[in-house]
């Protein structure tokens, strides 16, 4: 082990020998990996951003299309579900009332017959399974497990740890590029939407308010006045008729009650 600043070490302390290393020192594969240098990380992030930006754009478009399709397909699914429930009610009733009990009885009889016939025919296979196949399978499983554990301990585990470190670094770079692409897309969207927002706020909104005021003054107010006038005329014409019909109805009811009382 080389010391970068030998002048700061006390002269009375000897340099540690390599053979005196503690047995509890971590394995070289288990030491923490150092972060890559900044001059290497930023070009990699730039390349990842250039690669991920079109993918993020396509992803956002697919998400929008997926939301639209989800709403459309959900509505169609509810409609189709209602139609299928309406059409399937007779078949469900037929299945519950007639087919299922008959098939259950037939299945019970067939299962009883198969059980009775299978007990005698299964004896040689049961003996072969217990005396030959089970011990042979246990021995084979033990051998395969031993080979797999040895292979995992001395070959696969170091490879998996190395690949895990590489994939973690790549994932961090791709995640950073993904978020950076999202920020770039949000900024571009805001820049592109700014003219339309200003047009809506300062042009279309005042025009809409003016049109609403004109509509209320020219159409809504006269329509209300006409409706009130028509209602007043109709009430003035129909009120005598209603009173006369009520009087006639009361007279007829009195006559009928009188006649009914006499018959009683």
Dump pLDDT digits (tens) for 90-144: 778 878 877 888 888 888 888 887 787 777 677 777 788 888 888 888 899 998 9
pLDDT digits (tens, 9 = 90+) for 184-194: 888 888 888 89
List Cβ neighbours of 83 (8 Å cut-off, separation of 6 or more). Answer: none
pLDDT of residue 259: 75
Sign of CA dihedral 130, 134, 136, 139: negative
For residue 149, what pLDDT band results from cuts at 50, 70 and 90?
very high
Residue 254 pLDDT class (50, 70, 90 cuts): confident
Rounded to an integer, what distance in angstroms lies between the CA atom of residue 5 and that of residue 62? 58
User: What pLDDT shows up at residue 205?
Assistant: 92
Cβ contact 53:179 at 8 Å: no
Quote the pLDDT of residue 91: 79
Task: Encode pLDDT of 225-240 as tens digits.
Answer: 988 888 888 777 777 7
Instruction: Decide if 56 contacts 181 (C-beta within 8 A).
Output: yes
End-to-end CA distance of the chain: 128
- How far, in Å, CA of 153 to CA of 62, rounded? 44
Mean pLDDT of 66-75: 90
Is pTM beyond 0.85? Reply is no
Q: What is the DSSP letter of 19?
A: G
- Quote the CA–CA distance of 204 and 198 in Å, as a whole number: 9
Answer whether residue 207 shows pLDDT above 90.
yes
Confidence of residue 242 (pLDDT cuts 50, 70, 90): confident
């Amino acid at each position: 082990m080389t010391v970068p600043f030998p002048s700061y070490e006390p002269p009375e302390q000897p340099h540690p020998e390599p053979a005196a290393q503690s047995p509890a020192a971590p394995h070289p594969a288990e030491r923490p990996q150092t972060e890559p240098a900044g001059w290497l990380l930023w070009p990699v992030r730039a390349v990842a951003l250039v690669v991920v930006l079109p993918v993020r754009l396509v992803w956002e478009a697919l998400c929008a299309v997926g939301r639209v399709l989800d709403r459309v397909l959900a509505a169609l699914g509810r409609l189709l579900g209602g139609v299928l429930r309406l059409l399937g009610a007779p078949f469900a009733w037929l299945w519950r009332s007639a087919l299922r009990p008959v098939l259950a009885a037939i299945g019970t009889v067939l299962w009883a017959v198969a059980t009775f016939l299978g007990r005698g025919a299964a004896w040689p296979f049961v003996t072969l399974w217990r005396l030959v196949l089970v011990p042979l399978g246990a021995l084979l499983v033990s051998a395969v497990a031993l080979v797999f554990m040895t292979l995992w301990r001395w070959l696969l585990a170091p490879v998996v740890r190395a690949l895990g470190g590489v994939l973690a670094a790549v994932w961090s770079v791709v995640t950073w590029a993904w978020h950076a692409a999202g920020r770039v897309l949000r900024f571009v969207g805001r820049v592109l939407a700014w003219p339309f927002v200003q047009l809506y706020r300062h042009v279309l909104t005042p025009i809409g308010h003016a049109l609403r005021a004109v509509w209320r003054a020219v159409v809504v107010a006269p329509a209300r006045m006409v409706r009130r006038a028509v209602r007043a005329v109709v009430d003035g014409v129909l009120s005598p008729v209603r009173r006369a019909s009520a009087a006639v109805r009361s007279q007829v009811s009195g006559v009928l009650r009188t006649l009914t009382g006499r018959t009683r």
